[in-house]
Chains A and B, each alone.
Chain A
Amino acid sequence: MNSSIDNCLNTYLNKSRPLVYCPGCTHENITKALDKTFAKLNFEADKTVIVTDIGCSGLFDTFFNVHALHGIHGRALTYASGLKLANPELNVIVTMGDGGLGIGGAHVLASCRRNIDMTLIILNNFNFGMTGGQYSTTTPTNAIVGSEFLNQAEIPLDICAIAKSAGASYITRCSGLDSDLDQKIAKAIEHKGFSMVETLGMCTGRYTKRNKLTPKAIKQIIEDLPQYSGNIEENQRPEYGKLYRDLARKKTNFPEPVTLEKQFDIKNYQRQEVVILGSAGMRIVTAGDIVCYAGLNAGMNVSIKNDYNITVLRGQSVSEILIDPDKIGYTGIESPTIVLALSKEGVQRRQYIFADLKPDTFVLKEKSVAIPDTKASVIEIDFKKLKIKKQDWALASLGVLAKNEKALNKQMLESALKARFNEKVYDIAMETINKTIQ
């Protein structure tokens, strides 16, 4: 492999890898212009990477003595983004044909929107050269290509207009045959942010065999289209990488895991299987967490599984908790020791459990909630009468559990609340608990 030291005579082209394009292919001119650009910018080869994908534009990386990453069709910008974020010192150049443009459209949009400092050179030659001249997203409707009539039923896209609306901060459209192409590319590279150069060119192997396209005609096409020659004023903004790093730098607190010391020794604690049946907005998950904290404070092993709708403000919210002096294996609940029936939706979700509840299962139900027939002992509580808001019912029912020494006691509950909440919230929570624990 050649190293950077071999970049003599001010060229970055690889002497052992001569250009292999079809005679007359515009790609050759663009390759040479890019080489001149590197020389003009005095780039260090080891600080420069060419990222390419599939098709004739994907040959670019092989001709240069710089770092290279040649990947999957349409995805070049994704590798380029990863490289640039990982190593902000790199000069990142991406080449992509109109094929990659079509396949990787989402990545082009994301790159424009994100504004990572890298340069995309689009080699638009109006068709898929390598696979037989099929139509691409840029093929004119009236062109004759290798796709029979298909292109006649579609229209080509203007990637520059799209890039502008997607937030690109620098766009140039030009002919791949322009004599000052190296300067145009150099200016794009010097832009701090995402820059895009759309070059229009001739695919002599395929497209121009059946379509009249001359250097002059290309110039005319560009003139007839909206002009893009650099900075897009309304899209100027800080470069993504710098912005990201500035924002990320402010995040200095590494979140340590929740770890609870054993505080009490509870003799003969039996495994508990607790099911809390509630609805969205009733803070069921928080109540479930508190039960777990209580168990942890007593040195028990705990596990919690929550079941709620993806539309989180509606529907059931069910927590299933295991507290066990031994290691917990299976995390499903087969025979609950405690069921808190706090809402109709929650009960409906698990109505099948009631028939098989054992006589010694402790069922607490809110007065307004109906439950299926069960052999378990049921305690009813009227939270409304106690002036407890629905959002606090789950918390309040933990007070009932503590009072009856089911799964947790007063001491365990208080220490769990202390561990889970800050002082202010703890005081508010205790106000609610005190209404039921007495």
Chain B
Amino acid sequence: MAEIENKVVEMDEVVIRFSGDSGDGMQLTGTLFSDTAAHTGNDLATFPDFPAEIRAPHNTVAGVSGFQVHFGSAKIHTSGDLCDVLIAMNPASLKANLRFAKKGSTIITDVDSFEEKAMEKAGYAANPLEDGSLSDYIVVKAPIRMLTREAVKELGLDAKSADKSKNMFTLGMLLFMFSKEMTYTHKFLEVKFKKNPTVVEANKRVLAAGFNYAETVEAIKSTVSKVPAAKMPKGKYRSITGNTATAWGLMAASEKSGRQLFLGSYPITPATEILMELSKHRNLGVKTFQAEDEIAGVTSAIGACFAGSLGITTTSGPGFSLKSEALGLAVITELPLVVVNVQRSGPSTGMPTKSEQGDLLQALYGRNGEAPMLIIAASSPVDCFYAAFETARFALEHMTPAILLTDGYIGFGSELFQIPKMDDLPAIVPPIAAPNSDYKPYRRDENTLARQWAIPGTEGLRHRIGGLEKTDVFGQVSTDAQNHEKMTYLRNEKVMRIAERLPEQEIFGEPEGDLLVVSWGGTRGFVRSAVEKLQKEGKKVGHAHFRYIMPLPKNTRQVLSAYKKVVVAELNAGQFVKYLRINFPEITFKEFNKVQGQPFTVIELTDKFNQLLQED
């Protein structure tokens, strides 16, 4: 074979999957690599894949922790399907993650960890690095443990301390592979270990050792690549996860409306991060109340709403079920409660760390009586910020409880967030009743139908509300037949009228064509990538991604009628499609459903769409 010139290949996008034992520091390595890529102008999205077990046994498949980053020179919509580079720090992580590696991809392993006992624990009968089973991949067998110890020998570190820096070796290799500098990591180490210069030095040496080692490996040297900077809008950026973005969006709504933020919540995967994030911000007057259960979480938030706060409760599926009765109370008392449901696989406890879109029908219909609520679904980690802000804004201005649906995938995933200015976000003006005004609890604004918010402590507004049906305008307890029917329709109409303020539903693609792909919530990135791919191939495919579920945008019927065929793709057994069929019975909907606790892949979507395009 002729010698290959050592040249840098330009690539549009790359997916790297970091995996190792829980203690191998793969989350940090992945984050540092991602941050380096972000600082050098790449767009990206990440997703951590950690085990549900807190400290699963060492070197077992159950104890493997993963982190995937997808970075590129164009807009990145997802954390990627299959990876171009897989880091496997031990046999178990290779075992658990090989299925995520593209054929022909590079697998970097720490060959020193492929000891008999570790391979046995991972379930390998023979050494996969030697038995030819990886012949479809470029396997780099790096003696990472040995070279790491070597690199720090002069610093007098013992083997155990030295091994803690192994992840820096891997990071160094990757930085070389993708033509990135080590400066960002240097700065990070200097800040992180400010009090321990030896540790800083050790990590820097290991990082450099990895970087230099990569240059000597033929398989790497020949494929050094560079992903040019993406053309992103000018501005200031940061990286943010969906759950943090949700917390911040709610805080932004609190600041804009001048209403104190009260969160009543009970820890539940994958929503707990929102409670943890909000708990940090006492400095901004945020009041978090870790309740004794899900019911106390929501009812305390309802109490706070009654008292004039932006009352919020955060949860996931099983907790959402427990809150159902209280949501009805928020509907009938017409208070601006915000419920965040970070959806996970169900039913019951299901698969807590896995994502699904299974709670849509519950959000729409899961309460006794006629109990409509505003429902908005966030479509990406960054969109969690804006969707949370908007959910709170409409709840406050229209005096209705509202549900924000996100999911575990976008909750844990991260994206680059162009930092908004608070001045650029819309004002939020809740209809607060003036002191000593002629207040009636259920008198409504003639346009929005919102009732006024009379806050306890205000002079001249004493009144009573509650779970019993009340008379229109006056708010007296009533079982009058006509009044109940009137109030039922008023509560519904109030929510429906929010559609007047929603932007029109857009179609990504031509105004008409052969196949319209409909999706909602956290799947936007995958579906958009698939549609873009087909459009580039010249196919007449469009994408309508719904953020507003209840009410639907006003032009929804028009959008759904614009293409010859409509397919609804969602991560459940067909819930949004049922809702659309109820509302638009004249339209024929095809379905593409997946209920595996995993996101869509672009490949399976394009396959399905191609198949639908070919069918009569």
Decide if A and B are genuine partners: no
Chain A interfacial positions (CB closer than 8 Å to B): none
Chain B interfacial positions (CB closer than 8 Å to A): none
